[in-house]
């Protein structure tokens, strides 16, 4: 029998808070009557046992486990077990519950760093990402299934997830869904769609990142995410429907200030210098100080700017045909830039 308590302890000169453990050893089992780890602002408490399986393998059987981090409290829904060894982890199933949702985990990792892990989320509170300083100003509820395969350095992931009442960066989405698969540096987007009071959109296609370990690299935070996105290439079909452009550009802008866009576009190139082509239709088209009921046509965006052909402009009864070229530099990594000195051509 052993009782150990440490108010303050360090590992490799790094403070790790306090811990207390009461255990009994009766080979090949160590009964853990109580384990408490405290590292502000969180703590973990568990009861169970560790069973030696031989060949340096161990079974960890948890009767109970609970954690809290500030206002979030998670606990193990039922007793669970896992098997661990050097470079190996596997569980037939563990379910954690809290006021912030429910997470089920199955699978694990086996040498040499091969992944086979499934996470199922039910009613997960996305506000947790804000409290963890991962995504600022996000809220909503997430349900979905994530499956991780491949290796740590070249991950595969399959996602089928839905979100309700999503708020991010001041913009609200009533409902959305993501179905996608990633193998190495390629993401195959089967469906990305959302619906809201300010329009809807759907996208499908592929995104290629310039590094196969992008998923692990994302742990570097916002700067890492910007670097990964900045090196991506696109082959995506995008279909917005009556999208309020002003709202999505700036939620504080008056509704309809830049019109309502419906389009079928093929987007390619890189995120730094994308290209696009397809049909579009803009209701309440802005041309200050005027607003026209509708503008439609075929648009091409490339390194030289934006070109409009087969355009039709509703001027309040009669229609006019329009062709135009605008020196507009478009980027998905920085704001668009209008360069009128390079010449503007409009024919009506």
Write down the pLDDT at residue 249. 86
The model's pLDDT over 277-293, given as tens digits with 9 standing for 90+, comes to: 999 999 998 887 888 89
Task: Assess whether pLDDT exceeds 80 at residue 223.
Answer: yes
The upper half-sphere exposure of residue 54, i.e. CA atoms within 13 Å in the direction of its Cβ, equals 0
Task: Assess whether pLDDT exceeds 90 at residue 3.
Answer: no
Strands 88-98 and 18-26: unpaired
Which of 120-124, 179-183, 213-217 is least confident? 213-217
Q: What angle do CA 162, 259, 285 make, to 5 degrees?
A: 150
Residue 155 and residue 114: Cα distance in Å, rounded?
Answer: 9
| 286: enclosing H helix or E strand | strand 274-287
Task: Assess whether pLDDT exceeds 90 at residue 222.
Answer: no
Q: How many CB atoms lie within 10 A of CB 99?
A: 10
Would the pTM of this model clear 0.95, i.e. be above it?
no
pLDDT class of 12 with cuts at 50, 70, 90: low
Distance of CA 150 to the CA centre of its chain: 19
Mean pLDDT of the chain: 89
- The first and second tokens of residue 188, run together, are 């195959």
Q: Which residues is 343 bridged to in the sheet?
A: none
Task: Assess whether pLDDT exceeds 70 at residue 171.
Answer: yes
Separate counts of helices (H) and strands (E) for the chain: 4, 27
Q: What angle do CA 253, 346, 318 make, to 5 degrees?
A: 80
Residue (of 327, 317, 226, 206) closest to 272 by Cα position = 226
Q: What's the burial of 48, exposed, middle or buried (CB within 10 Å: 0-12/13-18/19+)?
A: buried
Task: Assess whether pLDDT exceeds 90 at residue 271.
Answer: yes
Q: How many CB atoms lie within 10 A of CB 176?
A: 20
Mean pLDDT, residues 14-22 taken together: 81
Residue (of 18, 76, 64, 9) closest to 43 by Cα position = 18
Mean pLDDT, residues 267-276 taken together: 95
If one compares 239 and 71, the residue with the highest pLDDT of the two is: 239
Mean pLDDT, residues 300-307 taken together: 91
Give yes or no for a cis peptide into 112 (omega within 30° of 0).
Answer: yes
- The first and second tokens of residue 22, run together, are 């009461």
Strands 199-208 and 233-241: antiparallel
Q: What's the burial of 125, exposed, middle or buried (CB within 10 Å: 0-12/13-18/19+)?
A: middle
Residue 98 and residue 300: Cα distance in Å, rounded?
Answer: 50
The model's pLDDT over 107-116, given as tens digits with 9 standing for 90+, comes to: 999 888 788 9
Residue (of 187, 145, 203, 142) closest to 167 by Cα position = 142
Q: How many CB atoms lie within 10 A of CB 87?
A: 11
């Amino acid at each position: 029998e052993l009782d150990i308590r440490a108010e303050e302890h360090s590992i490799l000169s790094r403070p790790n808070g306090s811990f207390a453990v009461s255990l009994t050893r009766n080979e090949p089992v160590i009964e853990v009557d109580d384990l408490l780890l405290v590292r502000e602002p969180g703590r973990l408490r568990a009861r169970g046992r560790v069973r030696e399986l031989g060949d340096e393998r161990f079974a960890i059987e948890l009767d109970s486990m609970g954690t809290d981090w500030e206002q979030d409290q998670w606990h193990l829904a039922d007793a669970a077990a896992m098997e661990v060894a050097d470079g190996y982890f596997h569980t037939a199933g563990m379910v954690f519950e809290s006021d912030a949702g429910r997470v089920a985990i199955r699978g694990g990792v086996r040498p040499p760093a091969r992944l086979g892990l499934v996470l199922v989320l039910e009613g997960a509170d996305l506000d947790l990402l804000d409290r963890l300083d991962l995504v600022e100003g996000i809220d909503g509820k997430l349900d979905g299934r994530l499956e991780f395969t491949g290796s740590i350095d070249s991950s595969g992931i399959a996602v089928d997830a839905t979100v309700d009442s999503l708020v991010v960066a001041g913009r609200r989405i009533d409902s959305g869904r993501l179905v996608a698969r990633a193998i190495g540096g390629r993401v195959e987007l089967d469906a990305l769609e959302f619906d809201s009071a300010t329009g809807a959109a759907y996208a499908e296609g592929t995104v290629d990142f310039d590094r196969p370990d992008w998923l692990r690299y994302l742990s570097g935070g916002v700067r890492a995410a910007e670097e990964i996105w900045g090196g991506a290439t696109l082959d995506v079909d995008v279909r917005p429907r009556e999208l309020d452009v002003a709202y999505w550009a700036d939620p504080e802008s008056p509704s309809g200030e830049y019109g309502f866009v419906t389009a079928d576009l093929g987007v390619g190139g890189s995120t730094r210098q994308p290209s696009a082509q397809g049909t579009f239709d803009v209701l309440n088209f802005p041309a200050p100080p005027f607003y026209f009921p509708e503008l439609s046509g075929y648009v091409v965006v490339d390194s030289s700017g934006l070109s409009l052909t087969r355009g039709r402009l509703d001027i309040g009864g009669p229609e006019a045909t329009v062709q135009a070229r605008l020196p507009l530099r478009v980027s998905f990594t920085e704001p668009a830039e209008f360069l009128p000195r390079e010449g503007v051509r409009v024919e009506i």
